Structures are given as C-alpha cells and as structure tokens.
Amino acid sequence: MSEQNPQVLIETSMGDIKIELFKEKAPITVKNFLNYVKEGFYDGLIFHRVIKDFMVQGGGMSEVLEQKKPKFAIKNEAANGLSNTRGTLAMARTAVIDSATSQFFVNTVDNLFLNHAGKQPDRYGYCVFGQVIDGMDVVDQIRVVKTGNKNGHGDVPVEPVFIKSAKLIEA
C-alpha cells in the first residue's frame, strides 16, 4: 500500500484552501513546507503579493510587511516535470536558483513561462510542489482584492488577507 500524498489545510481570513503535496516529485520542497507548517510558522502571516492574472503569494511577511525569519534555503526541484498551471503551488525565490525558503505562491492562471526550461538561472524555473484540491474559489476571491503599494512593496492587498493557520490534515 503506497502512502498517499500529504494534505494541508490553509485557513485564511477569506476561507479555507486545501492542498495536496507531491512528495515524490518534490521531496525536499514538501519536507521543507511541512516543517514550516508543523511549527506554525505560517500562522498569522499574510498573502503579501497578489497579482490577479498571475499568482497570490504568501508565507513570509507579517501584516506590517516585516519579513519573518525563515530557515535555510533549499534546492530548487523545478526540473521535476510538474507545470505551473492554474491551481498549482510553487516556491517563491530570488534570482538565485536555490534560494527558496518559506514563501510560496498559488498560480491563478497557467504560468508556463515559470516552468523549468534549462540550467541557466533565468530559465531554471519555479518548483511546483502541490495543487489546490479544494478552495480554488477562495484563491479566486483573494486574486481580485484591491492592491496597492505599502512599505516599498507593490501588489500588496489593501485589506490584509491573513493565513490564520496552516495544518497538516491527518489521514
């Protein structure tokens, strides 16, 4: 009997989002994400970057846009064959390939240009490690909130969208 993929319930101020994590395709990323979930790292943070026809990003900033200190950066598993399609979860990172820590995003449209296309930094891509299995309607509510500039950051929801909690759903 094969173990099923872990599932996480992200409770937001706009509703619940249930995600399935692809532990076989992105083992390092899933383990990293689950470590943050298990210690309550995401609880009380916000979705700090929302671009309607692109993605909603969270997992690293407080309501006042202070960066919560993450652990170490992980290896980028973008070459796992998974595609940045609508409803998938991927890791946010800087221009450095292996720089993802705690921040993640949900693709609100198919963002195939984010897929792995080569070993060069600008073509390496963003690692897909999960999929929304329930609550895409909530993601669609988040993606249309009014955004603006705040503390030097763009595309920030005017009314904060909180991650109340992220919890592993026990089978």
Q: What percent of the chain has pLDDT over 90?
A: 96
Per-residue pLDDT tens digits for 91-109: 999 999 999 999 999 999 9
Total residue count of the chain as it appears in this document: 171
Tokens 């991927």, residue?
Answer: 90
Q: Which two tokens stand for residue 34?
A: 């689950």
Q: Give the CATH number for residue 144.
A: 2.40.100.10
- Residue 62 within a domain: yes
Of 71, 129, 68, 126, nearest to 94 by C-alpha is: 126
Q: Which domain holds residue 67?
A: 7-169
- Residue 28 within a domain: yes
- Residue 2 within a domain: no
Per-residue pLDDT tens digits for 11-51: 999 999 999 999 999 999 999 999 999 999 999 999 999 99
- Residue 116 within a domain: yes
Is this prediction's pTM over 0.85? Answer: yes
Report the number of distinct structural domains present in the chain.
1
How far is the C-alpha of 121 from the C-alpha of 41, rounded, in Å? 28
How far is the C-alpha of 130 from the C-alpha of 82, rounded, in Å? 9
pLDDT at 1 over 60: no
- Residue 1 within a domain: no
- Residue 130 within a domain: yes
